[in-house]
A and B are shown apart, each in its own frame.
Chain A
Amino acid sequence: MREHIRYYRPQSVAEAVALLREHSGKSAIINGGTDVLIDVRSGKFTGDCLVDISRIQEIKGVREHDGAIIVGAGVTIEELATSRILQEKLPALALTGINFAGRQIRNVATIGGNVAHASPSGDTQTGLTVYDAVGLVASSEGERTIPVCEMFKGANKSALNDTDLLLHFIIRPCAAKYQHFEKIGRRKDLAISRASLAVLIDQDSDGTINFARVSLGACKPSTGRMPRTEDFLLGKNPRLSVFREAAKSMSAEMIAITGRRKSLAYKEPAIEGLLLRMLIPLL
């Protein structure tokens, strides 16, 4: 069943983009292969060629440029979790790599693949959207930037075209003192997220919250910031009752997006508890 699949291994972005254009509609990009090869096996992949971008140096590595952090689309989840720059400057993003599948998968799965595959439970999206990350995409028409929050059309539906190649993410570090990411899965390791949450909070010297960002993943058709919850937190003083209310407001905001689904009996208290747990260190 794999015999008819042609295989290309471009060495540069330019070469990859030309191949994607030539094979538009029939190709899949692979890097770590941890999503695409599952589709090949199950028969969900119906194309006839794979473009393997794992040898393209231009899309690898984490670096600082002009006050922003540039994270290559080819950065593996393990690199994400262990990068000094990310741990220091974008801790909520680095944390998304820690409990992501097993080590064997983390060693090859990439942040670009996680985003491009638009998995509703992709943890990295939660960490990227909380920082308002922007992706740089190349195609035969040239390069363009797209905010990560606009890269999803719905569960497993990416807004990227099949001729697009994600090159890197551009992320501005945030001065907020408290930056955190947590997720809930069925078990501790390897679990696919049932809910993930990234939070950036800053406070005045008297404790008043003067900056709040909250991004929720794995609970809606896509991942992204929760503006109503953020507004609710702004100007508040940390108190348990306030945080309980914030948690309620976040689940209401989620329901406004998803409607009342069957899984809600689980998800509603789960995400409320998750936000509460993440805010309690501020008390």
Chain B
Amino acid sequence: MVKMKISFILNGRPAEGEAVPAQTAVSFLRDSMDQRSVKEGCGIGECGACTIIVNGLAVTSCLMTAAQLDGATVETTEGLAKSGNLHPLQESFIQHNAIQCGYCTPGALMSAKALLAENPEPTRREIRKALAGNLCRCTGYQQIVDAVEDAAKAMRGKTDGEGCR
């Protein structure tokens, strides 16, 4: 079996691993890079549990090869908390009870993060559209949309504040 060296930026730091090239990105990230937040649900691009951010875009890591991560900038939920502080999205998900079993949560967080990076002030409709590819069997979605909406507000408050100072 020919393995390939995968060099990429993982949550802001250079990372390297070995993969069977046609292996899925989700299995490589979980098993070789210890990114256990990345979940495989359906394995065929329908549930969004495996969503990660690659070069700024939310993608399903079950329909991506490990080799396609080579040279890319990759974000997972492991990279959200900074120096022990949860990311505003994580705080907000907790506050709004947007988590029950939690299996869909890392994927939903990644979709939400990618959305807020390109659109810091999304409407509820835009939030729903951006998270349409993230299925949740537990919450009924309302709480997730609320959580993202509130996190967006919190994050705007922060950057606006910094901008004024």
Contact = CB atoms under 8 A, between A and B. Distances in A.
Interface of A: 2-7, 9, 30, 32-34, 37-38, 40-41, 50, 52, 54, 78, 101-105, 107-108, 189-190
A276 B20 CA distance: 52
A2 B22 contact: yes
Nearest to B51: A104
Interface string B30-55: 00000000000001111010010000
A104 B133 contact: yes
B101 interface: no
Contacts of B68: 33, 52, 54
B64 A52 contact: no
A103 B54 CA distance: 13
B133 A3 contact: no
B133 A190 contact: yes
A7 B43 CA distance: 20
Contact of A107 (B20, B43, B44, B58): B58
A101 B64 contact: no
B63 A33 contact: yes
A3 B18 CA distance: 13
B164 interface: no
Interface string B1-26: 11010000000000000001111100
A34 B45 contact: yes
B111 interface: yes
Given A107-B57, A107-B58, A6 B133 contact: no
Contacts of B139: none
A114 to B, nearest CB: 14
Contacts of A4: 1
Interface of B: 1-2, 4, 20-24, 43-46, 48, 51, 57-60, 62-65, 67-68, 111, 114, 129-130, 132-134
Nearest to A40: B22
Nearest to B114: A103
Contact of B130 (A5, A34, A41, A103): A103
B67 A9 contact: yes
Contacts of B45: 34, 38, 101, 104-105
Contacts of A2: 20, 22-23
B2 to A, nearest CB: 7
B74 to A, nearest CB: 14
Nearest to B43: A41
A52 B25 CA distance: 14
Contacts of A40: 22
Given A5-B22, A7-B21, A41-B44, A107 B59 contact: yes
Contact of B133 (A9, A30, A102): A102
A105 B22 contact: no
A34 B23 CA distance: 14
B2 A38 contact: no
Given A33-B63, A37-B24, A105-B63, 5 more contacts: A38-B45, A40-B22, A102-B133, A104-B60, A107-B58
Nearest to A76: B57
Contacts of B57: 78, 107-108
Contacts of A5: 20-22
A243 B46 CA distance: 37
B132 A30 contact: no
B70 to A, nearest CB: 8
Given A52-B68, A104-B133, A38 B111 contact: no
A195 to B, nearest CB: 20
A101 B2 contact: no
A3 B68 CA distance: 16
Given A107-B57, A107-B58, A190-B46, A102 B132 contact: yes
Contacts of B44: 38, 41
